[in-house]
Amino acid sequence: MKKRTKLLCLLLVFIVILSACGTKSDQKHDSQSEGHTYKRIISLMPSNTEILYELGLGDDVIGVSTVDDYPKEVKDKKQFDAMKLNKESLMKAKPDLILAHESQKATNDKVLKGLKDNGVKVVYVKDAQSIDEMYESFMQIGKVTHKEKASKKLVKETKQNIERVKNSVPDDAKGQKVFMEISSEPEIYTAGKQTFFDDMLTQLKAENSFSNLNGWQKVSKEDIIKQNPDLMISTMGISSSEYQKMIRKRGGFSQIKAVQHNKVKAVNGDEISRPGPRIDDGLKKLKEAIYEQ
């Protein structure tokens, strides 16, 4: 479980970096269906898989990525390495729709173009960097699968759930400075501004300790010490006690306020890193980590 979560976190970083390399010229075209009902869908991103299931299309999903693990039914689906797609393997599964990620235009464009040329519908789902953009993904997937009514309902319900979480934030919240650790040594990565995590912190009246950076960035131990966060949160699939043990071994971290006040915690990385239907649960867990003693 820990390995899978760490792989997903690293995949998230890699995907966002590559997203800037992908072209957007055919994104609008790819997000539209031609009146066809799809019954053999392959989803190459866990968040998109969760959206499909929430829209009632689980039975039509025949394949998922190697890092998909929710809902539990996906374990029975054919798995594909989303970072290194194999055209023959995908064609053998006989999909009629593939939900790809926009970053895959940069990593697997040749393979996906080949599938298009063979009559397979390929839709590039935009990488959501905020909660509002996540709603756009809900609607995009709902449109191409003719589940627009269900996707609108999902957007409405998710918005209501998120508002409940936001309203539960203490009125006297002081905007704690939070460091989000999404991967550890040998390379520590965190979330800067214009990322999903940054938006979640903003929604909760907290401050991202690395809002001076853009996107998902590698940071040094010295950088973290200099930022001196009030709270440190791991999304790597480890427990709070394991993260605390890890932090105690880092030289110089004893001078960080979060360490001094025992504010070193861990949250479920899958719930808060996937821009999908469970994000309200993830936001609630993040709120609890920030505000509960």
pLDDT tens-digit profile of 103-151? 888 888 899 999 999 999 999 998 899 999 999 999 999 999 999 999 9
Residue 225, Cβ neighbours under 10 Å: how many?
17
Of 115, 47, 29, nearest in space to 274 by CA:
47
In this prediction, residue 12 carries a pLDDT of 52
Which domains can be identified in the chain, with CATH numbers? 22-164 (3.40.50.1980), 177-291 (3.40.50.1980)
What confidence tens digit (pLDDT) does each residue in 21-57 have?
444 444 444 444 456 799 999 999 999 999 999 999 9
Query: Which spans in the chain are helix H?
Result: 2-19, 27-30, 46-54, 87-92, 104-107, 109-117, 131-144, 148-167, 196-203, 221-227, 240-248, 257-260, 269-273, 279-291
Q: What is the pTM of this model?
A: 0.86
Q: Once rounded to an integer, what is the mean pLDDT over residues 63-92?
A: 96
